[in-house]
Structure 1
Amino acid sequence: MLYSLHVKNLALIKEQEIEFSKGLNILTGETGAGKSVILGSVNLALGAKADGSLIRTGEEYALVELVFGVENELQKKLLLDMDIPVEEDGNVVIQRKIMQGRSISKVCGETVTTRQLKDIASVLINIHGQNDHQELLHKKKHMEILDDYCLDKLKPLFEKLSTEYSKLKELEKSLESTNIDEAARLREQELLEFETGEISDAEIVVGEDEKLETKYHKMVNSRKISEAACVVSSMTGSGDGDENASDMIGRAVRELSSVVSYDKDLEDLLSQLSDVENLLTDFNHALSGYLDDLEFDDEDFRTTEERLNTLNHLKDKYGGTLEKVLEYYNEKMSRLETLSDLDANRNKMIADIAAQKEKVLSLCKKISDIRKKQALVLQESLKDALIDLNFIDVKLEIRITSDEDKISARGYDDAQFMISTNPGESLRAMDQIASGGELSRIMLALKTVVADKDDISTLIFDEIDAGISGKTAWKVSKKLGELSKEHQIICITHLPQIAAMADTHFMIEKGLEDGRTVTNIYRLKEDDGTKELARLLGGDEVTAASLQNAREMRQLAEETKRGK
Structure 2
Amino acid sequence: MLTHLHIRHFAIIDSSELELDAGMTALTGETGAGKSILLDALSLILGARASADTIQQGADRADITATFNLDKLPAVSQWLARHELDADNECLIRRTLSSNGKSRATINDVPVSVQTLKALGEQLVTIHGQHAHQTLGKSSQQRDLLDRYAGGAQYQRVARAYDAWHAAHEAVEHQQRFAHERLQRIDLLSFQLQEFDELDIGSATVADIESEHRWLANSDRILALGEQTLSAIDDTAYPALNKATPPLGELVQIDEQLREALDLVESATIQIAESAHLIRSTLGKLDHDDARLAWLDQKLAALHSLARKHQCDMDSLPEVEQALREEYETLTDPGKAGDELVRERDALRTVYDEEAAKLTRHRRRHAGKLAKTISATMQDLSMAGGIFDIQIDTDDTQPHRLGNDTVHFLVSPNPGVDPGPLSRIASGGELSRISLCMTLAALDSHAVPTLVFDEVDSGVGGAVAIKVGQMLRQVGSQSQVLCVTHLPQVASQAHHHLLVAKDVAKGKTRTRLEALHGKAVRDEIARMLGGEKMTTKSRQHAQEMLDSASSSP
- Matching residue's letter, 1:538: G
Tell which deviates more after alignment, 63-72 or 506-515.
Answer: 506-515
Residue number in structure 1 paired with 2:134: 134
Question: What are the within-5 Å matches in structure 2 for residues 479-518 of structure 1?
Answer: 479-518=471-510
- Matching residue's letter, 2:3: Y
Helix, strand or coil: the match of 2:152? helix
The alpha carbon displacement at 1:332 in A equals: 7.3
Tell which deviates more after alignment, 541-550 or 78-87.
Answer: 78-87
The alpha carbon displacement at 1:439 in A equals: 2.8
- Matching residue's letter, 1:68: F
Question: What are the within-5 Å matches in structure 2 for residues 231-310 of structure 1?
Answer: none
Shift in alpha-carbon separation, 1:525–1:185, aligned structure 2, 3 A: closer
Residue number in structure 2 paired with 1:95: 94
Helix, strand or coil: the match of 2:396? coil
1:358 equivalent among 342, 350, 355: 350
Shift in alpha-carbon separation, 1:351–1:75, aligned structure 2, 3 A: closer
Contact 2:158–2:352 under 8 Å retained in 1 = no
Residue number in structure 2 paired with 1:397: 389
- Are residue 417 (structure 1) and residue 409 (structure 2) matched? yes
Contact 1:385–1:448 under 8 Å retained in 2 = no
Shift in alpha-carbon separation, 1:111–1:310, aligned structure 2, 3 A: farther
Q: TM-score scaled to structure 2, two decimals?
A: 0.72
Tell which deviates more after alignment, 507-516 or 457-466.
Answer: 507-516
- Matching residue's letter, 1:85: L
Helix, strand or coil: the match of 1:62? strand
Distance in 2, Cα, partners of 1:510 & 1:534: 18
Contact 2:154–2:355 under 8 Å retained in 1 = no
Distance in 1, Cα, partners of 2:196 & 2:406: 51
Residue number in structure 2 paired with 1:115: 115
- Are residue 8 (structure 1) and residue 8 (structure 2) matched? yes
Distance in 1, Cα, partners of 2:550 & 2:349: 59
- Are residue 191 (structure 1) and residue 188 (structure 2) matched? yes
- Matching residue's letter, 1:51: S
> Deviations 1:249-282 (Å, cap 9, x if unpaired)?
xxxxxxxxxxxxxxxxxxxxxxxxxxxxxxxxxx
The alpha carbon displacement at 1:503 in A equals: 1.1
Distance in 1, Cα, partners of 2:506 & 2:23: 36
Residue number in structure 2 paired with 1:523: 515
Question: What are the within-5 Å matches in structure 2 for residues 360-375 of structure 1?
Answer: 360-375=352-367
Helix, strand or coil: the match of 2:540? helix
The alpha carbon displacement at 1:198 in A equals: 9.9
Residue number in structure 1 paired with 2:376: 384
The alpha carbon displacement at 1:375 in A equals: 1.6
The alpha carbon displacement at 1:156 in A equals: 5.0
* Cα RMSD for the two superposed structures: 3.5
1:337 equivalent among 333, 336, 340: 333
Distance in 1, Cα, partners of 2:152 & 2:344: 31
- Are residue 25 (structure 1) and residue 58 (structure 2) matched? no
- Matching residue's letter, 2:470: K
Contact 1:396–1:417 under 8 Å retained in 2 = yes
1:444 equivalent among 419, 426, 436: 436
Distance in 1, Cα, partners of 2:325 & 2:427: 63
Shift in alpha-carbon separation, 1:348–1:43, aligned structure 2, 3 A: closer
> Deviations 1:367-395 (Å, cap 9, x if unpaired)?
21212112222222332333344432221
- Matching residue's letter, 1:377: K
Distance in 1, Cα, partners of 2:491 & 2:351: 54
Residue number in structure 1 paired with 2:460: 468
Distance in 2, Cα, partners of 1:448 & 1:42: 22
Distance in 2, Cα, partners of 1:327 & 1:380: 68
Distance in 1, Cα, partners of 2:107 & 2:452: 21
Tell which deviates more after alignment, 462-471 or 444-453.
Answer: 444-453
- Are residue 453 (structure 1) and residue 445 (structure 2) matched? yes
Distance in 2, Cα, partners of 1:200 & 1:466: 84
Shift in alpha-carbon separation, 1:189–1:368, aligned structure 2, 3 A: same
- Matching residue's letter, 1:15: S
Residue number in structure 2 paired with 1:287: none
> Deviations 1:226-265 (Å, cap 9, x if unpaired)?
xxxxxxxxxxxxxxxxxxxxxxxxxxxxxxxxxxxxxxxx
Residue number in structure 2 paired with 1:34: 34
Tell which deviates more after alignment, 110-119 or 505-514.
Answer: 505-514
Residue number in structure 2 paired with 1:71: 71
Distance in 2, Cα, partners of 1:326 & 1:425: 78
Shift in alpha-carbon separation, 1:70–1:334, aligned structure 2, 3 A: same
Helix, strand or coil: the match of 2:385? coil
Contact 1:75–1:124 under 8 Å retained in 2 = no
Contact 2:4–2:19 under 8 Å retained in 1 = yes
The alpha carbon displacement at 1:149 in A equals: 2.5
The alpha carbon displacement at 1:347 in A equals: 7.4
Largest Rg, 1 or 2: 2
- Matching residue's letter, 2:187: E
Helix, strand or coil: the match of 2:33? coil
Shift in alpha-carbon separation, 1:368–1:353, aligned structure 2, 3 A: same
The alpha carbon displacement at 1:16 in A equals: 0.4
Contact 1:26–1:492 under 8 Å retained in 2 = yes
- Residue ranges of structure 1 left out of the alignment (5+ in a row): 202-305, 315-321
The alpha carbon displacement at 1:103 in A equals: 0.7
Residue number in structure 2 paired with 1:230: none
Helix, strand or coil: the match of 2:414? coil
Residue number in structure 2 paired with 1:104: 104
Residue number in structure 2 paired with 1:275: none
Distance in 2, Cα, partners of 1:44 & 1:349: 46
> Deviations 1:446-484 (Å, cap 9, x if unpaired)?
332322123321111111111111111111011001101
Residue number in structure 1 paired with 2:144: 144
* Matched residues, number: 444
The alpha carbon displacement at 1:170 in A equals: 2.5
Residue number in structure 2 paired with 1:217: none
Distance in 1, Cα, partners of 2:447 & 2:479: 9
Distance in 2, Cα, partners of 1:334 & 1:543: 91
> Deviations 1:171-190 (Å, cap 9, x if unpaired)?
5414642776xxx8754531
Residue number in structure 2 paired with 1:288: none
Contact 2:26–2:494 under 8 Å retained in 1 = yes
Distance in 2, Cα, partners of 1:519 & 1:193: 79
Helix, strand or coil: the match of 1:71? coil
Distance in 2, Cα, partners of 1:417 & 1:79: 34
Shift in alpha-carbon separation, 1:351–1:71, aligned structure 2, 3 A: closer
Tell which deviates more after alignment, 139-148 or 476-485.
Answer: 139-148
Contact 2:70–2:77 under 8 Å retained in 1 = no
Distance in 2, Cα, partners of 1:412 & 1:72: 36
Residue number in structure 1 paired with 2:86: 86
- Matching residue's letter, 1:504: H
